[in-house]
Amino acid sequence: MLRKWLLPAIAGISISLFISAPAAAQDAQLPTVTVAKPVVRDVIDADEFIGRFAAVDEVSVRSRVGGYLDQVFFTDGALVKKGDKLFVIDQRPFRLALSQAEASLASAQSTLSFAEAQFKRTESLTGTGTLSISKLDDDRRALLAAQANIRGAEAAVDRARLDLEYTTITAPLSGRVDRRWISPGNLVQADETVLTTIVSLDPIDFYFDVDERRLLSYARTARERGSALQEGAGALSVLVTIADANEPPFEGKLDFSENRVDNQTGTMRLRARFENPNFILQPGLFGRVEVEGSNTYQAILVPDEAIAADQNERVVYVVADDGSVATKPVRLGPRLHGYRVIRSGMTGDETIIVNGIMRARPGVKVKPELVVLPQEAAHAAENAQ
């Protein structure tokens, strides 16, 4: 009786194992992929441009008087302050000219004293009828001429004294001085010979060109903030990175843009200003600037590794609840927070393949392993773009 009961049971177990074994083998053969929900968060678009640093102030140092260069008072490439002595032109001719002007002034003062005394005598004698009115007019004319000569002589003294002062050439601004471009003993032409140059270092400006499409976007964003792009878009913050990877990005403010688009290039030049207390940033240095290109909005973000190419369009691989794979065409935006912005093609509720897309094909099934993407990817991944 027991044997009759065991035989059907064993047969049932065998049939069950026969049915489940192929299913288990089939599941084991499915390719394993990593899937995740896209990151949905508030972002601000950022665009990148290449630009160059330039000094806020730059001056070519020239002499206002001509003469032979006598002395140089700075070291090539040194930092100088406004008013520091840089050069001296040979002062001897200018001291002689000042002495001559002062002598002419003394002579004019003597002539004026005589003319005043003569006019007073003539005026008193004319009142008694001793001298004629014409004599009084002549002495008055001589007095006025002597007074005019005094003013001319005083102006000549002031001019000679100013020329003597101009022989000492000082720094018109604080900054870093270039090498001396002329050695002592050479002739310096007034207002022509460039002796050296000085550039300011703190603060420092950064110039970059923006195309028309993004220019219009920035202008619209500036208007929404109650400002104008030409006035710095309300001191919009920007970040600049330089070639030295050890230096963190420098933060500055957008403060100016040109008032028209260049007819030949179709671009407009913008300027940002940066504090530079350690003089790390130098005029002429290239940099990569990141500019906020929008107001805050909610965006769908996915890793770049989750984006594939299908002929001339970009797609993501979407995994359904049963493990089947399908593709979705997407339109890409900028890279933010270590991810790529999806402009269109996704709702944010999809489950996408983020690792292992090479093992997936549309229409086939995969074995998904769900992970959660952080709100912000690692900085290393963001810097690798």
Q: What is the arithmetic mean of pLDDT over 27-40?
A: 83
Q: What is the arithmetic mean of pLDDT over 243-258?
A: 86
For residue 90, what pLDDT is reported? 94
> What is the residue type of 339?
Y
The pLDDT of residue 382 is above 60: no
The CA distance from 102 to 353, in Å, is 93
| % of residues, the chain, pLDDT over 90 | 32
Domains 32-43+297-370 and 48-56+198-292 share a fold: no
What band does 16 get if pLDDT is binned at 50, 70 and 90?
Answer: very low
State the pairing for strand pair 367-371/32-36: parallel
Helices in the chain by DSSP H: which ranges?
2-29, 92-128, 133-166, 212-224, 379-383
The CA distance from 349 to 362, in Å, is 19
Determine contact, residues 83/170, Cβ cutoff 8 Å: yes
Determine contact, residues 270/189, Cβ cutoff 8 Å: no
Which homologous superfamily does the CATH classification assign to the domain defined by 48-56+198-292? Efflux pump adaptor protein, beta barrel domain (2.40.30.170)
Residue range 84-126, pLDDT digits in tens: 999 999 999 999 999 999 998 888 888 888 888 877 877 777 7
What band does 19 get if pLDDT is binned at 50, 70 and 90?
Answer: very low
Sign of the torsion angle spanned by Cα atoms 291, 293, 298, 302: negative
Q: Which residue has the higher pLDDT, 143 or 289?
A: 289
Q: DSSP 3-state assignment of 57?
A: coil
Which homologous superfamily does the CATH classification assign to the domain defined by 64-186? Helix hairpin bin (1.10.287.470)
Please state whether 234 falls in left (phi above 0), alpha (psi between -120 and 50) or beta. left
For residue 140, what pLDDT is reported? 79
The pTM (predicted TM-score) of the whole model is: 0.65
Which of 230, 206, 200 is CA-nearest to residue 218? Answer: 230
Write down the domain spans for the chain. Answer: 32-43+297-370, 48-56+198-292, 64-186
Residue range 337-350, pLDDT digits in tens: 788 888 888 888 88
State the pairing for strand pair 204-211/46-55: antiparallel
> Which of 84-88, 291-295, 364-368 has the highest average model confidence (pLDDT)?
84-88
Angle (CA) 209 213 215, round 5°: 50
Q: DSSP 3-state assignment of 372?
A: coil
> Which of 32-41, 50-59, 231-240, 334-343 has the highest average model confidence (pLDDT)?
50-59
Q: Which CATH class is domain 32-43+297-370?
A: mainly beta
The pLDDT of residue 50 is above 80: yes
The pLDDT of residue 240 is above 60: yes
The pLDDT of residue 261 is above 80: yes
Q: For the chain, what is the mean pLDDT?
A: 83
Tokens in use for 352? 């996408």
Q: What is the arithmetic mean of pLDDT over 183-204?
A: 93
